Structures are given as C-alpha cells and as structure tokens.
Amino acid sequence: MLSFDNVSFAYGQHLVLKNISLQINEGEFLTIVGPNGSGKSTLSKLVNGLIQPHLGQVLVDGLMTQKPKSLREIRRLVGLIFQNPDDQFITTTVFDEVIFGLENIGVDPDNMKLIAEDALKKVDMLSYKGVEPHKLSGGQKQRVAIAAILAMKPKYIVFDESTAMLDPEGRQNIITLMQQLHTEGITIIHITHHMEEVLVATRVLVLKDGLIVADGTPSAIFHNSSVIESNELEMPLALKLKQCLRSTGIKVPEQIMTLEGVVDYLWTSN
C-alpha cells in the first residue's frame, strides 16, 4: 500500500501540496487529474522518493521514503515513467537500457539477458533490442521506458503524463498496455490531462491548488457537474454524446462510459 500522511511540499515559498492524506491500495488503477499547477506531478515524484515531503511522511509498503536506506527498495517497488522518455535514456541501445536498471539493483548477470528480453517482449519491443533509442517513435520510446521498469518487477508503476507527447494511436497503445499490466496485478497510477483516458481507471483523484477536492469512480466524478466545472475538467466525448442523447429523450445507462458502449446500446435497444 502507498500511504501519504499529512504530506505538504513547497518549491521555495510556493506551497504545492497542502496536508495531503491518501491511501492507494494494491491492485488499484488510479488516475489523477486537475488543472495545471495543482500538484499532480509533485505527488508522483513523492511516491518513489525522488523528492521528499517537507511535512508528513510517505510510506511504500511500510517503508518511509525519508529514510535513505529504504530508497533502493522503494525505487524497485515503484517505477516512474516520465512525460518525455528521452529524459530516462542513458545508453546506446534498447537492450542496454533495460539491462542498466537491472545492474543498478544488483541482479545476477547470468539472469539479466532473459529478464530483459522478457520485459521487452511484454511491450512488443524485443525486435528492436539492438536499435538506438533516439531512432524510435515517441510511442516506441515509452514502451522501452516501461520495459526498463518492468524488468525490475515493480508492484506499482506511476505514469506521469506519459501519453502527453504521443499521437492518438500512440496514446491508445500505452493505455492498452497499462490495462494489461493492471490485469497482471500491477498497481497503476496515471496522471493525465486527457479525460478519455480517465474512463479506464477504477478510481479518480482530482487535485486543485495542492488539495484533494474529489475522490471516486470515473462515473461518480464525471456525473458530478460541480466537480467538472470547478476544476477545469473537460467531459469525455462519450459522456458529451450521452448528454446530447438525453436531451432528445434517449437515456443511456450511467454505467456505460465509452463511445463503443454508447453505440452498442443504441444498436441493441432499437
């Protein structure tokens, strides 16, 4: 379990997170949304000890991120995928990129090749193992970054706006991969500005001005008009369509949250 206990963080005099208390349970698919400057990325960096809280504490499976001796294990447990994958690459080939992380956590050299190849296979990038990372597309780079994290067998993966620089097809590929990893038991924490991506989560957290202002299922969040309006969130296209249909007298059930679901309902209900 990931636990934030009365956590505050400031950059200089600017307080970014204000007395945050939060628990993220194993097996959740949590999406974090909110306006620019709300504290989303700061929260993600606190999860694996990349930065430390100024007040309060962050615990990862009972390990405190403020204790230097715990950081190596915490960073094995919690993988962090950044917005720009180029920020994570430091080697000359895809394969070496995955191997580098394994070397850092002291994996037996005899096992590294098999582990690295298995991680690349999971993200459909094994055939690119000899390619230089900078020659890959944005989506391919993100897959390699994910493989490097997967090789270390994390329990939690934080995606910090990891789809922001991708085209629609690339974004969908990464979201599909997130869903696949979630079904395999990895806890997913996804920070995004793309509201369509929120619909695949099991839980949504809304931040504003360093505070948690809403916490619930995607359905509960998006059917609360005051939460949407007061936090600069855009309604996903599927839900906009449902609203338009409702105005014509066609009431699509609330639990249907995707375009495919709306189309299927319209097709089968007539």
Residue 75 lies in a domain: yes
Amino acid, single-letter form, for residue 239: L
Question: Average pLDDT over the chain, rounded to whole?
Answer: 90
Q: List CB contacts of 268: < 8 A, sequence separation 6 or more.
A: none
Residue 59 has pLDDT above 90, yes or no: yes
> What is the average per-residue pLDDT within 24-31?
96
Is position 64 within any domain? yes
Domain that holds residue 143: 2-217
Q: What is the CATH number of the domain that holds 211?
A: 3.40.50.300
Q: What are phi and psi of 111, to 5 degrees?
A: -100, -10
Cβ(119)–Cβ(148) under 8 Å? yes
Per residue in 77-103, pLDDT tens? 999 998 888 877 888 899 999 998 888
Domain presence at residue 246: no
pLDDT reported for residue 85: 80
Of the chain, the percentage scoring pLDDT greater than 70 comes to: 100
**Is residue 249 domain-resident?**
no
pLDDT at 261 over 80: yes
- 122 part of a folded domain: yes
Is 184 inside any structural domain? yes
* Domain count along the chain: 1
| DSSP secondary structure letter of residue 235 | P
The predicted-structure confidence for 100-141, as pLDDT tens digits, reads as follows: 888 877 788 888 899 999 999 999 999 999 999 989 998 899
**pLDDT higher than 70, residue 270:** no
Write down the pTM of the prediction.
Answer: 0.89
